Amino acid sequence: MRHLLAIRDLGTEELQSLVTRAIALRDGAAPLRAEGAIATVFYENSTRTRLSFQEAGALLGLRCLSIVTEGSSIQKGESMEDTLRTVAALGARAAAVRSPWALRLQDLAGLPIHLVNAGDGWAQHPTQAIADLAVAQREFGDLRGRTLLIVGDILHSRVARSNAEAFSALGARVLLSGPPTLLPPGLAEGLGAEEVGLEEGLRQADVCMVLRLQRERQERGYLPSTAEYRRFWGLTVARAALLLDHAVILHPGPQNRDVEIDGELVACARSRIADQVSCGVYGRAALLEAMLDAR
Ligand code: CP
């Protein structure tokens, strides 16, 4: 595997094998070892993804070169290509890149380094989807016949795009629910998913994934207010009572408590949000093992 920019870069078997390996690592298998370093090159803020790439690299014995915009030569105008060439020259074999705009392989493919998309604009967040699949498969095993409901700001969500594709690839049914301004006509079909009303979706879901309301990407006019959003689209305690007894709640984080999810649901018995973070480390470790031919 040279690069991972999108879920569609992986065949179904390759995706399943990364998820299976992530679960094995999560459940105590010994990580393989790799030589050298990885880099995290982040043009946007992050807690979970950046730290989990660092932790994943450490599991394999890799050094980590970490760059964020502030304090680096990105602020002097250095291009992404030159930044990636620099970290490669410093020994990084793979770079996890987070970017506010969609990454284009044709701009970066010739670089002497493996590229991993750590979240790009509205486009893709493939390693989040690997982590979320690992959480769901640890809970339910085979996902064929299971239902994933994704709720909220689908339009701006790279997490929704990657997870809709990834869960569908492994046989799950994917339902999407959100306000019409954030789930415009055609988007669900384009992702191979079905649009449903929120309460109907909650009654059917095995996995209920609540998306962060991305206030930093909101342009004027999508929503009247966050209070209105909670009223009509938030996963409140009352709405969570509609879920099947065995259903679990996911959220990629960070949460806007009492906006898209009630604060008391974040760490409730149904919540697997902390496990998403743990599986984030092991999913990324599985990917680095495969990409760097760890032994
Ligand atoms: N899930 C996720 O991408 O979180 P961070 O923005 O904290 O990395």
Helical axes 48-59 vs 273-291, angle rounded to 10°? 50
Test site for ligand 1: of 47, 117, 251, 284, most ligand atoms within 8 A of the Cβ: 47
Q: Is the pTM of this model over 0.95?
A: yes
Which class is domain 127-276?
alpha beta
User: For 165-207, how does the pLDDT look when each residue is reduced to its tens digit (9 = 90+)?
Assistant: 999 999 999 999 999 999 999 999 999 999 999 999 999 999 9
Spell 241-279 as b/e; 16+ CB within 10 A means b.
Answer: ebbeeebbbbbbbebbebbbbbeebbeeeebbbebbbbb
- Ligand 1 neighbours, Cβ below 6 Å, are 46-49, 119, 128, 252-254
CA 148 to centroid of ligand 1, rounded, Å: 20
CA 250 to centroid of ligand 1, rounded, Å: 13
Alpha helices in the chain (DSSP H): 12-26, 48-59, 80-89, 105-108, 126-140, 158-169, 187-190, 198-204, 226-233, 237-240, 273-291
Mean pLDDT across 145-152: 98
Q: Where are the domains of the chain?
A: 7-125+280-291, 127-276
Look up the CATH architecture of domain 7-125+280-291: 3-Layer(aba) Sandwich (3.40)
Identity of residue 219:
E
pLDDT at 49 over 80: yes
Q: How far is CA 252 from CA 220, 273, 290, in A?
A: 24, 7, 24
Look at ligand 1, atom 6, and give the residue with the nearest C-alpha. 46
